[in-house]
Structure 1
């Protein structure tokens, strides 16, 4: 009862074909294919426009701050 047999799927397919027609379904699938192709092309174009740094980036270490004598006496 939980799963549909092949006959159920065939009846659903016939109803869908009667409602939408053969031409509309093929047009719709063509539009979906065009959308997928343009989506993939957009992803490929985005990867090409990513700017990656070339060369080395010099990092200067932060200066180490040592506490003064006043700060040492406050914490003690």
Structure 2
């Protein structure tokens, strides 16, 4: 797993229909983008150091920017 600052870290639930956790990677400990990562969790607004497991994946920053651009503007 490789990541960059600003990417999203998404951890899927281990239970069927369970919630997923999403956070923004705010710092790296290795220049090659490998774990561990410092992540600011969107649902709790605090940061933790995490070594992601097999239930996690990285969504590159450019992908979630495209999603935001595709959404209609709020009025």
Q: TM-score, normalised by structure 2?
A: 0.22
Larger Cα Rg: Structure 1 or Structure 2? 1
Higher RCO, 1 vs 2 (CA within 8 Å, ≥6 residues apart): 2
Which structure: greater strand fraction? 2
